[in-house]
Structure 1
Amino acid sequence: MASKIVTSIIRILFLGLLFVFLFYPDKFHIKFEYPGYPQADSWHVRLAKLAFWLLFVIEILRIFYYGVVKSKAKGLVANIVTVITPLVVVLILIEIIFMYVPQSHEGVLSKASQIWWEKYWKPVNALGYHDKEIQNEPGKKKVLVIGDSFAAGHGLEDINERFSNILEAKLGADKYTIYNLGMSGADTRDEVRRLKDFPVKPDIIILEYFPNDIEKVGREKGLTLTGAEPYADLNGPMATIVKRFYLPNFIYWQLPHTGFSTFEKFVQTAYTDTTVLNAHLRDLSGMLAYRDSTQAEMYAVFIPFLFQVDKSAGYTKPVEQYLRSNNVTVVGINDGVVKIPEKERIVGKNDGHGSAALNQLIADRLYEAMKQR
C-alpha cells in the first residue's frame, strides 16, 4: 500500500508541472495563441484544465483509499484527512462545474462573462462587429447604427432582441438594411473613426449615446476614476486565486465593488467641466461632419443611467442641445424607461446593459421618429 501511495504522490508532482503550465503560464513567459487570450480560456484550455482536475481528484482519492480506508488508519491525522478529502473533492467538482457556467457582466471582466461571450456573442462579421456580413443590396436604404456596448447588444442572448434588428424588421428588410457598428468600450472619437472606415455609406445614421461616452475625454483632461480597475480591491494570494480560478471568481463578481456613486460623480464633473465638455463636443462635430459629407439623416437616442434616469438626463443635456442645434433628431425614451420596472430594464443583476424590453422601447421610438420624417 505504501508503494501505491508513493506512486500517486509522484504522479501529483508531475501534475504540478501541468498545473503551472495551465494556471500560471504568464509567470514563465508562456503564451497561448487563441482569440481572447489572456482574458479568456479557450475551450481547448478549459478541456485541459478539466482533465487536470479529474486526474488530480483520482490521485487524491487513491491516496485516501490506500492511506486511510484500506489500511484502517485511526487517530487525529486519519480523522482530519477523512474530513478534508471529500471537502477538497467537492470544491474541485464545483470548480469544474463553474468552468462552464455563463453569466453576462458589465464588461468581459469575470470568467463567467468570458464563457457567456464565447457562447452568445454570435454572429461576428469579418470586420469584428456583432452583426451580419456586409452585402450588396442595391435599392435599399442603408442605416448605420453607431454606439457602444448598448448598441452592440451586450447581455442579450438573442441578437434579434437588439433594437437595431427590431427596427430593421419594423421598417421592412426589403426596403432597409441596418448595419450595427456598436462596440463595447467605444467613445465618440472612436465611433467617428468607425463610421469613416465602414465601407457602406449611409442614408441614415443612428447614434446611441450613453453618459459614459465622455469618460475617455475626461481622463485625457485629467479627471480620475479611482477603484474602477478590475480586482483593484484584492491583494496578495487572494488576488491570484480569484483571477485564475472559476469558483472564487464567480463568487467575487456576485459582490459589490466600485460604487455607482463614484462613477456618477466622475460623469457629473466631466459634463460640468467646460474644458472636458468642449473637447467632447469637438469629437461629436467630427460625426456631424461625416453626416454632412454623406448627406445622411441623423438620429440620436440617449440611454440614461437606468436607475438614475432624471439625473443622467440632466448631465447629458448640453450634448443633447448641441445635437439638436445641428439638425439631429433626438429621440427621447426616458418617459418610457421609467414605466419599465427597474429589474426589467437590465439584462441581469450583474449586468446593467439594456434588456430586451428596453431595446424594444428604443426600436419603437426610433420607428415612430423615422415615420414622421
Structure 2
Amino acid sequence: MNISGDSLLYAVALSLPFFLICLACYFKKKHSPHIGPFWKITIANILIFLILLSTLFLAFESYYRFIYDQSDSFGVTRVSGRWFNRYYHYNNLDLRDNIDYIKKKGGQARFTFLGDSFTAGHGIKNIEDRFANIIRKSKNKEWEIQVFAKNGLETGGELKTLKKAVNLGYEIDNVVLIYCLNDISDLVPNWNKTLHGMYQKAKKQGFLLKHSFFINTIYYRLRIGSNPKFSNYYNFVSEVYSSTLWNFQKDRIEIINNYVKDRGGVFHVIIFPFLHSFKTGYPYNNIHNKLSGFFQEKNIPYLDLLDIFEKYSSYNLTVNKFDAHPNEFAHSLAAKDILNFLEHKHSHSIEQ
C-alpha cells in the first residue's frame, strides 16, 4: 500500500498524543514505585510537556491542513499552493478565466486587460469578484472583456504574452495595461535571482517542511520576514525608479503602446498603487508622479487608482495580513473607476 508523505505525517501527528498518554499511564502504573522522587517528577514533567506539545502541533497542523484557506503574497507555502489549485481554473489560452477566448465578435468592442497577479485575481476565490469580471458583467452585451494576466508577470512578460496571442491569430482592439509599481522588477538581475532561488529551494524541502502544512507556513513566513531582500522589497522597487532602469522601463511601455497602435488598437493604462502602504502615509507618490508625467508626455490615456484607494486603510483593501494583493472590496472599487474611465475614453474614440 502506497501512503503519501502528507498522510503519513498526519497519521503520526494524530497518534503521537495518544501514544504519549498511554506511555505516561504505563510509567505511572509499572515504574513509578521503583524510581526516586526526583526522577519520577522529571520524567512525569517531560511526558506532560511532550503530550501538550504534540497536542498543540496536532491542533495547528489540523487547522492549516483542513481549515485555513488563504493565499500569501509570494505564493510559496503549501497552503497557498493548495489555494491556487482550488480557485485558479484556466481557459483555452491557459489564462485564468471561466470562458474561452474565441474570434472577435462583430459589433462588440474588445477590451484586453494585460497584467499580473493583481489582474488575474490573486487572493480572490470567486473569479466573478475580480474587477475585469465585474466590468464584463456590467457591459456584457456591448463589450468583450478578456484577461491576459498571470501571476509573476512584469512588463517584459506581459509584452511576450500579448505577442504570443497575436501570433496565434488574436485580434487587438482596446488593450488596457494594468500597471503595478513592481512591474519594473524584472529589469533587476539580483531580484530575479533571489526570487528564482526561493522557488527552487521550495522544491528541495526536507520531509517535515514538505509535508507539514503548519511547519511549512511558519517557516516561510519567518524566512521571508527575516530576509531583507523580501522585507524591504517595496523600498527596493522605489529605488529602481530612481535609477537608469527607469529609462528602460519607459522604452518597454512605449514598445507595447506602439505594438498595439500598429495593429489598429487603442492603448490605455491603469495604475495600481501598493495597497499595503496606507497605514502611516503613502511613501510612493514619487513613482506615481513619474508614471503620470511619462503617460502625459506620450499622450497615453491613463487612470491612477491612488485617489480612490488612499481613502481607506490597508486592512480594508488587502487580501490578508500576509497577502498584499487587492481583496474583493478593492476590486469592486477599481472596477467602478476603470469602467467609468474606459466608457468615457471609448465613447470619445467613437465620436472621433
Same fold (TM over 0.5): yes
Shift of 1:302: 0.8
Q: Deviations over 1:24-81 (max 9, x none)?
A: xxxxxxxxxxxxxxxxxxxxx5xx5235532675487468647843982224386244
Partner of 1:88: 54
CA distance in 2: counterparts of 1:216 and 1:72, whole angstroms:
66
CA distance in 1: counterparts of 2:23 and 2:328, whole angstroms:
56
SS in 2 for 1:72: helix
Q: Which stretch shows the higher mean deviation, 294-303 or 112-121?
A: 112-121
Q: Is the 8 A contact 2:9 2:211 kept in 1?
A: no
Shift of 1:127: 2.6
SS in 2 for 1:181: strand
Shift of 1:164: 0.7
CA distance in 1: counterparts of 2:238 and 2:124, whole angstroms:
29
Distance 1:164 1:213, change over 3 A: same
Q: Deviations over 1:248-304 (max 9, x none)?
A: 233345554446772233223211212x12222222232112211222122111111
Q: Which stretch shows the higher mean deviation, 130-139 or 207-216?
A: 130-139
SS in 1 for 2:149: coil
Q: 1:69 aligns with which of 23, 26, 38?
A: 26
CA distance in 2: counterparts of 1:342 and 1:117, whole angstroms:
23
Distance 1:261 1:55, change over 3 A: closer
CA distance in 1: counterparts of 2:274 and 2:248, whole angstroms:
22
Partner of 2:349: none
RMSD, aligned CA? 3.4
CA distance in 2: counterparts of 1:226 and 1:197, whole angstroms:
27
Partner of 2:343: 371
Shift of 1:323: 3.0
Q: Is the 8 A contact 1:223 1:270 kept in 2?
A: no
Q: Is the 8 A contact 1:271 1:316 kept in 2?
A: no
Q: Which amino acid in structure 1 is aligned with residue 6 of structure 2? A: K
SS in 2 for 1:126: coil
Distance 1:305 1:229, change over 3 A: farther
Q: Deviations over 1:77-106 (max 9, x none)?
A: 862445524642552353244223322100
Pick 1 or 2: higher relative contact order, CA cutoff 8 A, min separation 6: 2
Partner of 1:182: 149
CA distance in 2: counterparts of 1:202 and 1:227, whole angstroms:
32
Partner of 1:203: 173
Q: Which amino acid in structure 2 is aligned with residue 159 of structure 1? A: I
SS in 2 for 1:209: strand
CA distance in 2: counterparts of 1:70 and 1:166, whole angstroms:
64
SS in 2 for 1:125: coil
- Once the two structures are superposed, the pairs formed by residues 276-287 of structure 1 within 5 Å of their partners are 276-287=245-256
Partner of 1:354: 326
CA distance in 2: counterparts of 1:273 and 1:56, whole angstroms:
51
Q: 2:285 aligns with which of 294, 302, 313?
A: 313
- Once the two structures are superposed, the pairs formed by residues 15-94 of structure 1 within 5 Å of their partners are 45=4, 49-54=6-11, 57-58=14-15, 61=18, 65=22, 68-69=25-26, 72-73=29-30, 74=32, 75=35, 76=40, 79=44, 80-81=46-47, 83-85=49-51, 87-92=53-58, 94=60
Partner of 1:333: 305
TM-score, normalised via structure 2 length: 0.78
Shift of 1:204: 0.7
Partner of 1:154: 122
Q: Which stretch shows the higher mean deviation, 318-327 or 98-107?
A: 318-327
Q: 1:293 aligns with which of 262, 271, 275?
A: 262
Shift of 1:186: 0.7
Shift of 1:188: 0.8
Distance 1:188 1:81, change over 3 A: same
Q: Which amino acid in structure 2 is aligned with residue 180 of structure 1? A: V
Q: Is the 8 A contact 1:102 1:114 kept in 2?
A: no
What are structure 1's unaligned runs of at least 5 residues? 1-14, 23-44
TM-score, normalised via structure 1 length: 0.74
Identity of aligned residues (%): 20
Q: Larger helix proportion, structure 1 or 2?
A: 2
Distance 1:231 1:251, change over 3 A: farther
Q: Which amino acid in structure 2 is aligned with residue 102 of structure 1? A: D
